[in-house]
């Protein structure tokens, strides 16, 4: 993956116009930059990887569409932080938090500052979303290709919005979600726009036939789910030193992952329940939970799911003749080793 750079996005962030829109315009532009900087540029990389694997010859369009999917991701992340009320993102203040703190600095009362944070982040996400659609719509390709690209973006937007809303419903609903609920939500909320969409856009830019684009949708959904499940495992069993990710936070926050949903269906849940979502969960109690998650078979179950999803993805790709090197690169994304033996 290339190093993170934000220069390709400069033109897309409306610096010139926002700079002429007073204090708020300047604040919105700074928030957009803050939100775009520091991402791993994973989605643009997927666009390019797939385009190149399909023998595409449109590097300029790849850059434009890659910027579009990254901005789409930015918009989702910023609006997700509004919806979840998250105060941090990638170890830095989230966009709503940035606006909230700025208002507090102007002696705005707490509740009003919260509202200013919400407004600033809704609007920042809106600007990122509009820039994303524009970037895809104006990529230098023939009109028929533009329409194929935009249809894919539209579909991904609809699926992602429905998945995001399903996530809120599962979290707010009385009663516990089933494993099927959780997997379906994860697929729609993240896998489609983060994996299926960039790969399909890359293939369309390479003028790949419909059946290849369709197969890449399957590949992306399964890979995205595998990646998400692997991420859930890393959030509990990972090596913090190499992932930079706490292995206590998910448990302390009571994050409702597939791992937890499976455990809830086993006798081991009686051991786990007192600790899951405990705000004072410490390392020693987290270790007890990890041990219980292994003994009740939930860790193994989710590891097997990852393996199955990767295999399904690889088979779907091979069936339409996708290059073995591409499928191997993609599968590699989902096999980050976790700590200790299963």
- Which residues are at the interface with a second copy (CB under 8 A)? 14, 17-18, 21-25, 27-28, 75, 79, 82-83, 103, 106-109, 112-113, 115-116, 118-120, 122-127, 129-134, 137-138, 146-147, 150, 153-155, 157-159, 161-166, 168-169, 172-174, 184, 188
Comparing CB distances to a second copy, the nearer of 76 and 195 is 76
Nearest to 35 by CA among 170, 111, 128, 103: 128
Comparing CB distances to a second copy, the nearer of 37 and 115 is 115
Comparing CB distances to a second copy, the nearer of 49 and 141 is 141
Cβ–Cβ under 8 Å, residues 271 and 250: no
DSSP reduced 3-state for 119: helix
DSSP 112-157: HHHHHHHHHHHHHHHHHHHHHHHHHHTSSS-HHHHHHHHHHHHHHH
Phi first, then psi: give them for residue 88, nearest 5 degrees: -130, 155
Cβ 57 to a second copy shortest distance, Å: 20
Cβ–Cβ under 8 Å, residues 194 and 73: yes
Task: Give the whole-angstrom CA distance, residue 61 versus residue 250.
Answer: 39
Comparing CB distances to a second copy, the nearer of 123 and 338 is 123
Comparing CB distances to a second copy, the nearer of 81 and 338 is 81
Task: Give the whole-angstrom CA distance, residue 139 versus residue 155.
Answer: 18
Nearest to 211 by CA among 54, 43, 40, 101: 54
What distances in angstroms separate CA 8 from CA 1, 36, 43, 103, one per listed residue?
15, 11, 14, 31
DSSP reduced 3-state for 321: coil
Cβ 129 to a second copy shortest distance, Å: 6
Cβ 84 to a second copy shortest distance, Å: 9
Comparing CB distances to a second copy, the nearer of 3 and 172 is 172
Which residues neighbour 184 within 8 Å (Cβ) at sequence distance 6 or greater? 166
Comparing CB distances to a second copy, the nearer of 10 and 335 is 10
């Amino acid at each position: 993956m290339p190093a993170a750079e934000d220069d390709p996005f400069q033109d897309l962030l409306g610096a010139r116009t926002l700079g002429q829109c007073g204090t708020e315009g300047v604040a919105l532009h700074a928030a957009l930059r803050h939100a775009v900087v520091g991402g791993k540029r994973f989605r643009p990389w997927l666009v390019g990887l797939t385009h190149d694997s399909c023998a595409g010859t449109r590097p300029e369009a790849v850059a434009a569409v890659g910027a579009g999917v990254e901005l789409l991701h930015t918009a989702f992340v910023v609006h997700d932080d509004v919806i979840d009320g998250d105060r941090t993102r990638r170890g830095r203040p989230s966009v709503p938090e940035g606006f909230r703190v700025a208002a507090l600095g102007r002696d705005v009362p707490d509740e009003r500052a919260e509202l200013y944070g919400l407004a600033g982040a809704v609007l920042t996400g809106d600007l990122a979303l509009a820039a994303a659609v524009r970037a895809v719509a104006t990529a230098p390709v023939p009109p028929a290709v533009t329409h194929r690209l935009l249809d894919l973006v539209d579909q991904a937007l609809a699926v992602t919005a429905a998945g995001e809303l399903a996530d809120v419903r599962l979290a707010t609903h009385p009663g516990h979600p089933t494993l099927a609920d959780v997997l379906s939500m994860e697929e729609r909320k993240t896998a489609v726009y983060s994996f299926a969409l960039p790969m399909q856009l890359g293939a369309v830019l390479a003028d790949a036939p419909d059946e290849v684009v369709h197969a890449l949708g399957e590949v992306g959904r399964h890979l995205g789910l595998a990646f998400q499940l692997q991420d859930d495992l890393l959030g509990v069993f990972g090596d913090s030193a190499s992932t930079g990710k706490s292995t206590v936070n998910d448990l302390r926050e009571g994050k409702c992952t597939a791992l937890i949903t499976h455990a809830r269906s086993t006798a081991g849940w009686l051991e786990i329940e007192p600790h899951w979502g405990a705000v004072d969960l410490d390392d020693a109690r987290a270790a007890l939970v990890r041990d219980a998650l292994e003994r009740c078979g939930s860790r193994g179950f989710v590891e097997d799911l990852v393996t199955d999803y990767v295999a399904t993805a690889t088979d779907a790709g091979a069936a339409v003749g996708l290059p073995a090197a591409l499928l191997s690169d993609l599968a590699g994304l989902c096999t980050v080793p976790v700590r200790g033996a299963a």
